Structure 1
Amino acid sequence: MTVKLDFEECLKDSPRFRAAIEVVEGDISDLETRLDKLVKQCHSMLEAGKVYCQNSRNFITGLMELGQHCSGDSVIAECLNKFSSKLSSILDAQAEVIETTQKSVKMKLQNFVKEDVKKFKDVKKEFERSSESLEAALAKNAQVPRGKQHEVEEAGQTLLNARKAFRSEALDYVLQINVIESKKKTDILMAMLSLMDAQAQFFQQGHQSLSELENYRRNLSEQHTHLVLNSAREKRDMEQRHAAIKTKDMSYDDSIMDFSPDAASGIAMEGYLYKRASNAFKTWSRRWFSIQKNQLVYQKKFKDQPTVVVEDLRLCTVKPCFDHERRFCFEVVSPSKSCLLQGDSERQQQGWISAVQNSIASAFQDHREDTHSPRGLERTRSVSAGSGMVSGEQPNAGHEALEEVQKITGNNQCCDCGELGPDWASINLGITLCIVCSGIHRSLGVHFSKVRSLTLDSWEPELIRLMCELGNTAINRIYEARIDEMTIKKPNPSSPRQEKESWIRSKYVEKKFIQKLPETGRSVPLRRSSARRDRANTQDRPVVRPTVKPKPNRATLPRLTGVNQSDLSQKNNTGIRKDDEEEDLSGLHPGALLYRSAALQNFPVMADALAHGADVNWVNAAEDSSTPLIQAVSANSLAASEFLLQNGANVNQADSNGRGPLHHATILGHTGLVCLFLKRGADYNARDKDQKDPITIAVENANADIVTLLRIAKMNKEMREMDGAFGQSGDETYHDIFRDFSQMASNNPEKLKRRSADIK
Structure 2
Amino acid sequence: ISKAVSTLLCLKFKSKLVKLCSGMIEAGKAYVSANKLFVNGIRDLSQQCKKDEMISVSFSDEAETRPSHFILFDQAQRSVKQQLHNFVKEDVRKFKETKKHFDRVREDMEIAQVKNAQAPRNKPHEVEEATSTLSITRKCFRHLALDYVLQINVLQAKKKFEILDAMLSFMHAQYSLFQQGYNLLDEIDPYMKKLAAELDQLVIDSAMEKREMEHKHATIQQRDFSYDDTKVEFNVDAPNGVVMEGYLFKRASNAFKTWNRRWFSIQNSQLVYQKKLKDSLTVVVEDLRLCSVKPCEDIERRFCFEVVSPSKSCMLQAESEKLRQAWIQAVQASIASAYRESPDTYYIEHLDRTASPSTSSIDSASEPRDRSARGETILQRIQCLPGNEQCCDCGQADPRWASINLGILLCIECSGIHRSLGVHCSKVRSLTLDSWEPELLKLMCELGNSVINHIYEGSYQEQGLKKPLPSSSRQEKEAWIKAKYVEKKFLKKLGSTEILINGERKPERPAAPPRLPSPQVSEDSSGEAELEAEPETSDPEDIRDLHPGALLYKASKARNLPVMAEALAHGADVNLVNDEDEGKTPLIQAVVGGSLIACEFLLQNAADVNQRDSRGRGPLHHATYLGHTGQVCLFLKRGATQNDGDEDGQDPLSIAVQQANADIVTLLRLARMNEEMRESEGPFGQPGDATYLDIFREFSHMASHNPEKLKRRSVHFRHSFR
TM-score normalised by structure 2 residue count: 0.48
Select the structure with the greater relative contact order (CA < 8 A; seq sep ≥ 6). 1
Structure index of larger Rg: 1
TM-score normalised by structure 1 residue count: 0.46
